[in-house]
Structure 1
Amino acid sequence: MTDSNGAPAVHLVHTADLDAATRAAARSLLTEVFEGDFGEDDWEHSLGGVHALVREGPELVGHAALVQRRLLHGGRALRTGYVEGVGVRADRRRRGYGAAMMAELERVVRGAYDLGALGSSDEGLAFYASRGWRRWLGPTSVLTPAGAVRTEEDDGCVFVLPVAAGLDPRGELVCDWREGDVW
């Protein structure tokens, strides 16, 4: 489906308003898109915020989510719109669905958060950079129950979309704790 301008139609819906069938379709789509490398923790990370959905007829072909997190930088806790669970069915890629979903989530980030952030797979690096997301150049860490712990394996994979926050992209960026992949 497309909107009146010919762009893919994206529907935003909060997790609380997802019906059971759409929730199951989104979970199944992401398992397919990530070729089985999308577990329960990954799905949990995608819940509790806004979902951007693209359908072709009754079929869900694209999903992305935006959830609130707190990132620490320069002595401040930044209200962050964190992007999760971005995927387009393989046979529907290169049609602008991913860009349309991200445009909607970026609009929400700019209107509601200090910062946008995401952890990218290797396949997504060029896509996010082309949209104006900036690769974080400094060290990354996670604030665990035992204190801050470096996440060196995530250095270079974290992207930010600055909104109102003055950032030093070479400084440390610390995410809040969660089970599974922290970034």
Structure 2
Amino acid sequence: MTVETTGPGDGVRLVHTAHLDAASREAARALLDEAFGGDMSDDDWEHALGGWHALAFEDGELAGHASLVQRSMLHRGRALRTGYVEAVAVRPDRRRRGHGSAMMAALETLLRGAYDLGALAASDEGAAFYAGRGWQVWQGPTSALTPSGVVRTPEEDGGVYVLPLSAPLDLSSGLTCDWRDGDVW
């Protein structure tokens, strides 16, 4: 299933991983490798799969990628169904044309319709972009629910952003993400 949305260039297509053909999957991974300067690990790519992909096109070519996957976050004794944004990037030669905003707008529509909370880990370069869209920095301590129990992730403090939706939140309280291989946030 593919959903077409409006945006700059040729617009944004929302495609679930289950319907992402091999050529599109390879093009998205190549775009991410280029955009992140080769710093996109196999685990990072794996984290971007299993949900929705927002694919931005310009002149018929893939210009950007972002994905939304389901995770579980623990906050104040409650497990929150969380839409987690991953692998957001625009080709270097197509930046500053609105592709990132169009992809995020498409994913935020999905978030508002299906999740208790939106969350993502922002790079220093991306933090202002997300804050400008209404995402809020998580001010409390972050942790991960690991096979060994809850482990603090202080290196992520101040870099996790949330989009409050239906769940009541205390941004100064703790937030714990579910376990996964590679970077947990």
Instruction: Confirm or deny a common fold (TM above 0.5).
Output: yes
Counterpart mapping for 1:79-98 below 5 A: 79-98=81-100
Q: Deviations over 1:78-101 (max 9, x none)?
A: 000000000000110010000000
> Aligned equivalents of 2:90 and 2:6: distance in 1?
22
SS in 2 for 1:94: coil
1:125 to 124, 127, 133: 127
Counterpart mapping for 1:1-183 below 5 A: 9-183=11-185
> Aligned equivalents of 1:86 and 1:6: distance in 2?
16
> Aligned equivalents of 2:8 and 2:39: distance in 1?
33
> Aligned equivalents of 2:74 and 2:156: distance in 1?
16
Q: Deviations over 1:3-55 (max 9, x none)?
A: 77867611000000001000000000001000011010000000000000011
Shift in alpha-carbon separation, 1:80–1:99, aligned structure 2, 3 A: same
Structure 2 unaligned regions, length at least 5: none
Q: Is the 8 A contact 2:7 2:99 kept in 1?
A: no
> Aligned equivalents of 1:84 and 1:110: distance in 2?
17
> Aligned equivalents of 1:4 and 1:176: distance in 2?
33
SS in 1 for 2:125: helix
Q: What is the letter of the counterpart of residue 132 of structure 1?
A: G
Q: Give the 4+ runs in structure 1 shifted more than 3 A.
A: 2-8
- When normalised by structure 1's length, the TM-score is 0.96
Shift in alpha-carbon separation, 1:106–1:4, aligned structure 2, 3 A: closer
Q: Is the 8 A contact 1:8 1:100 kept in 2?
A: no
> Aligned equivalents of 1:54 and 1:158: distance in 2?
24
Q: What is the letter of the counterpart of residue 83 of structure 1?
A: V
SS in 1 for 2:29: helix
- When normalised by structure 2's length, the TM-score is 0.95
Q: Is the 8 A contact 2:8 2:99 kept in 1?
A: no
Q: What is the letter of the counterpart of residue 22 of structure 2?
A: A
> Aligned equivalents of 2:61 and 2:105: distance in 1?
21
| Structure 1 residue 56 displacement after superposition | 1.8
Q: What is the letter of the counterpart of residue 71 of structure 1?
A: M
Q: Is the 8 A contact 2:118 2:162 kept in 1?
A: yes
Q: What is the letter of the counterpart of residue 62 of structure 1?
A: G
Q: CA RMSD in A?
A: 1.5
